[in-house]
Amino acid sequence: MAIDTVAVIGRGALGLLFGEWLGARMAPGAVQFVMDDARFAEKGAQRLLVNGELARVPVVPASQAHPVDLVLLAIKTTGLELALDTMEGLMGPRTTVLSVCNGVTSEERVAERFGWQGVPLAVAQGMDAVFMGGELTYRQRGEIRLGPATGTAPWVVPELDAFLTAMDVPHAVEEDIDHRLWTKWMLNVGVNQTCAAFGGTYGSVSAPGEQNRVFVGAMREALACARAEGHDVTERDLMAMAQLMASLTPDGIPSMAQDRLNGKRTEVEEFGGTVLRLAERHGLLVPTNAWLVERIEG
Ligand SMILES: NC(=O)C1=CN([C@@H]2O[C@H](COP(=O)(O)OP(=O)(O)OC[C@H]3O[C@@H](n4cnc5c(N)ncnc54)[C@H](OP(=O)(O)O)[C@@H]3O)[C@@H](O)[C@H]2O)C=CC1
Ligand SMILES: CC(C)(CO)C(=O)C(=O)O
């Protein structure tokens, strides 16, 4: 079955990036942003810009939405419970849910509510999206990496692959998506939290000094947790992530640092919070993450 209709939950950095891109390529009305009714009343009519152009994809309240072929979940994980309620009316028997949320829990939480059948595992990476003051700016569109979870129906990933190819959305189907997901989580534990705690940048966490020590230390603790859970994340992956950050625009900042500047709740629970929970389960010492969580939440 082809993907002909798309609902995007989250009209922020990634939602606008992917939603407006798809809206410009699909039939009129085929792509919609869907919001819970309270958020729609407050923000549904907001005029937002994407690289200087007015965002055009229509916005509808959840109470008026219908089942779609694809739900693109692009909210901060702090809002996931409400987003799951918002999605109730969008789910049909063959709806696919593509979560571009960071962290290792969003797909599981979607599957707990709707079942695994339509849920692949995915990460979004490589974009330099900044959403501030009602405007999304980006130069790098980044890419989506995806693959099946154990319970994902066999048709989901091939259909998504064909759709993303037809829409010219950079993506790749991973042989080992679990490894990609946990490696990205390790990176976010390090770079997102360190930049949020210190007001840092990709440049400052990569330069020798305290930020770099915290960045690497936090990742190493995440790595130990991931391995204790049976995910094959290695020191080589850690090194590759550190090198990746050192290669980015030095004054760039991750999404969590943008949350701090925008006065929004951060995803610290998804990053350091998950480290603390897993460390407790496996008897690991994780002082750097304990400090980061306290500093970011405090
Ligand atoms: N930004 C980036 O470069 C990257 C982000 N990610 C990840 O992608 C996810 C999305 O991040 P990002 O796009 O930056 O987040 P943003 O904060 O920019 O956007 C999230 C949007 O979702 C909206 N929202 C929250 N709850 C709901 C709901 N129930 N219904 C409808 N809309 C809702 C928010 O509205 P409101 O403002 O009203 O709360 C906001 O507009 C996160 O998990 C992030 O970690 C991954 C890779 C890169
Ligand atoms: C990898 C990174 C730091 C940038 O895309 C990210 O995932 C984020 O900003 O949340």
Tens digit of pLDDT at every position of the chain (298 positions): 799 999 999 999 999 999 999 999 999 999 999 999 999 999 999 999 999 999 999 999 999 999 999 999 999 999 999 999 999 999 999 999 999 999 999 999 999 999 999 999 999 998 888 899 999 999 889 999 999 999 999 999 999 999 999 999 999 999 999 999 999 999 999 999 999 999 999 999 999 999 999 999 999 999 999 999 999 999 999 999 999 999 988 998 999 988 988 889 999 999 999 999 999 999 999 999 999 999 999 8
Tokens 């028997």, located at residue: 93
CA of 255 to the centre of ligand 2 (A): 6
Name the segment(s) of the chain with CATH classification 1.10.1040.10: 178-297
Kindly give the pairing relationship between strand 121-127 and strand 141-147: antiparallel
**pLDDT value, residue 298:** 80
The minimum-distance atom of ligand 2 relative to the CA of 192 is: 3
Ligand 1 midpoint to CA 78 (Å): 9
Domain 6-174 has what CATH class?
A: alpha beta
Residue nearest to ligand 1 atom 5, measured at CA: 255
pLDDT at 1: 75
Which residues of the chain does CATH 3.40.50.720 include?
A: 6-174
Ligand 2 center–CA 125 separation, angstroms:
7
Q: How far apart are CA 3 and CA 142, in angstroms?
A: 22
- CA trace torsion 21, 22, 23, 26 (10° rounding): 140
What pTM was estimated for this model as a whole?
Answer: 0.96
CA of 279 to the centre of ligand 1 (A): 27
Q: What is the pLDDT of residue 261?
A: 86
Q: Are 93 and 107 in contact (CB under 8 A)?
A: no
Ligand 1 centroid vs 10 CA: distance in angstroms?
5
Q: Which residues are bridge partners to 162 per DSSP?
A: none
Q: Which among 184, 206, 255, 270 is the best mutation to test ligand 2's pocket, defined by most ligand atoms within 8 Å of the CB?
A: 255
Task: For ligand 1, atom 38, name the residue with the nearest CA.
Answer: 39
- CATH 3.40.50.300 applies to domain 178-297: no
**Which ligand places an atom closest to the C-alpha of 241?**
2
- Yes or no: say if 56 and 25 are a contact pair by the CB < 8 Å rule: no
Per-residue burial over 250-267, b if 16 or more Cβ lie within 10 Å, else e, is: eeebbbbbbbeeeeeebb
Q: Which atom of ligand 1 is nearest to the CA of 127?
A: 3
Give Rg (Cα) of the chain: 19
Pocket of ligand 1 (CB under 6 A): 9-15, 35-36, 39, 43, 74-77, 79, 82-83, 86, 100-102, 124, 127, 129, 131, 255, 267
Whether ipTM exceeds 0.95 = yes
